[in-house]
Amino acid sequence: MSGVVKYRSNAIVELMQMPATEHDETWLKEALQQAVMLELATLPPYLCGLWSIQEVDQGSDVFETIHEIVFDEMSHMGLVCNMVTTIGEVPRIADGELVPKYPGPLPGGVQPDLSVSLTGLSKQALDMYSRIERPDAPVVEERETYTSIGAFYTAILEAFRSQPELIKGTRQLTKIMSGAHGQGNNVIPLRSLNDVEAALQVIKEQGEGTAVSPENPFPGEAGELAHFYSFREIFHGRKLIRVSENPPQFDFQGDVIPMPRTFPMGTVPAGGWAEGGVPVSDDVQQDLNEFNRHYSALLRFLERAWKAEQPGTATQMLSLAVVEMVNLQVPAQALMATPLPDGSGKTYGPEFRYVEEDP
């Protein structure tokens, strides 16, 4: 590996091709930075889907499911950042070269035939979400042959197991989520191999389930499914149920899951609406600028939180990041309520573009 970090690269594929005997400290540091980028990359598309659900259906099962998944992914990113700092590095988050670029592939070459875009909730979007989360061997539907996120995390776990002395417990952040967000959703300090193993189990199994069950072993509510299966349920419009005990088989033959009413957010073009040739009024530009400022401030506060040497400063930075996260929803939904000028019936939506801090 070159050590040069880029958002669009084959870095994860190259890391996975290296023999396990070469998964040393340098390998682990590079892998964990890619994992930070990977976790961040899932949040904007999921948030667009969540925010596109109209207020009248924001108490629906679909809304609650996606809302829970978003909280899971935020926690996963926090745990990965703690993995970076426990081995003495600092996660790079607020960097225009490394923030997610949409539409386009996931970072590192994971799922190379998948293009991830920012758009409203739809069957097509749900298929995209579930492909992001697809396990190596799902208990229902086909498997793909490309490197999965879960396989990448398994390699990271083995690298930690072979070098537990790298775990120093430095600059660890804590964020305790409310009890409604699942048993594994706290961002906790990682000061031992057992801590790291437990964190990686949460990240893998909340997203993919286990080899024998689609259930989330760390649920907010009993019977909650792992992310992949939750997205497939909404896509199929039916609950996933066990249809055979021996051998165990599952299929989407359960109760109907109605799609919620949504704002028909269009797909954000590369570089944003204006760069993609879509006319943008002053009011729309104001909402876009406001959103991008809050998003960029969020990333800066997160990076500063894990850079901070003093725990009090780290906690303050993390709290400011949470405020900026909350600030994203109002301009996002204002954009989703504004029709595109092309008569397509679609609307604008947030761009998730990183902008530098004013000097």
The C-alpha atoms of residue 90 and residue 192 are separated, in whole angstroms, by 18
Q: Which residue has the tokens 């023999």?
A: 19
Question: Which pLDDT score is estimated for 208?
Answer: 72
HSE of 218 in the Cβ direction (CA atoms, 13 Å)? 25
Section 35-43 average pLDDT? 95
CA distances from 1 to 34, 52, 89, 316 (A): 12, 40, 17, 35
Tokens of 346: 């679609």
Is the confidence at residue 197, as pLDDT, over 70? Answer: yes
My answer on whether omega of the bond before 164 falls inside 30° of 0, hence cis, is no
Section 96-124 average pLDDT? 94
Question: Which pLDDT score is estimated for 209?
Answer: 65
Q: Which residue has the tokens 């590079």?
A: 30
CB 83 within 8 A of CB 195: no
Comparing 90-94, 191-195, 246-250, the range with the smallest average pLDDT is 246-250
Model pLDDT for residues 231-283, shown as the tens digit of each residue? 999 999 999 998 888 887 889 999 999 999 999 999 999 999 999 999 999 99
Among residues 102, 42, 101, 41, which one has the least CA distance to residue 70?
Answer: 42
For the chain, percent of residues with pLDDT exceeding 90:
75
Sign of CA dihedral 167, 169, 175, 179: positive
Model pLDDT for residues 312-324, shown as the tens digit of each residue? 999 999 999 999 9
Model pLDDT for residues 124-164, shown as the tens digit of each residue? 999 999 999 888 767 666 655 566 788 899 999 999 999 99
Max mean pLDDT range (3-7, 67-71, 112-116, 320-324)? 320-324
- The contacts of residue 270 (CB under 8 Å, 6+ apart) are 101, 102, 103, 104, 276
CATH number of 11-262: 1.20.1260.10
Question: Which pLDDT score is estimated for 244?
Answer: 86
Question: Which pLDDT score is estimated for 182?
Answer: 54
Question: Which pLDDT score is estimated for 2?
Answer: 43
> How big is the chain, counted in residues?
359
For the chain, percent of residues with pLDDT exceeding 70:
92
Question: Which pLDDT score is estimated for 193?
Answer: 97
Mean pLDDT (the chain) is: 91
Q: Which residue stretches of 87-246 are H helix? A: 123-133, 149-162, 193-208, 227-236
Question: Which pLDDT score is estimated for 211?
Answer: 62
Question: Which pLDDT score is estimated for 237?
Answer: 96
Among residues 192, 206, 217, 184, which one has the least CA distance to residue 82?
Answer: 192
Q: How confident is the model at residue 1 (pLDDT cuts 50, 70, 90)?
A: very low
CA distances from 66 to 75, 129, 179, 228, 274 (A): 14, 10, 17, 11, 29
Q: What is the gyration radius of the CA atoms in the chain, in angstroms?
A: 20
Q: Which residue has the tokens 């992949």?
A: 228
Among residues 98, 103, 112, which one has the least CA distance to residue 44?
Answer: 103
β-strand partners of 59: none
Q: How confident is the model at residue 27 (pLDDT cuts 50, 70, 90)?
A: very high
User: Which is more confidently placed, 52 or 5?
Assistant: 52
Question: Which pLDDT score is estimated for 181?
Answer: 45
The C-alpha atoms of residue 131 and residue 45 are separated, in whole angstroms, by 12
Question: Which pLDDT score is estimated for 252?
Answer: 93
CB 16 within 8 A of CB 155: yes
Helix (H, G, I), strand (E, B) or coil at 339: strand
Question: Which pLDDT score is estimated for 142?
Answer: 61
Query: How many other C-beta atoms can be found within 10 angstroms of the C-beta atom of residue 53?
Result: 24
Q: Which residue has the tokens 């998948």?
A: 114
Section 68-79 average pLDDT? 93
Domains of the chain, by residue range, sit at 11-262, 264-359
Q: What is the pTM of this model?
A: 0.93
Section 283-310 average pLDDT? 97
Residue 151, Cα to own-chain centre: how many angstroms?
16
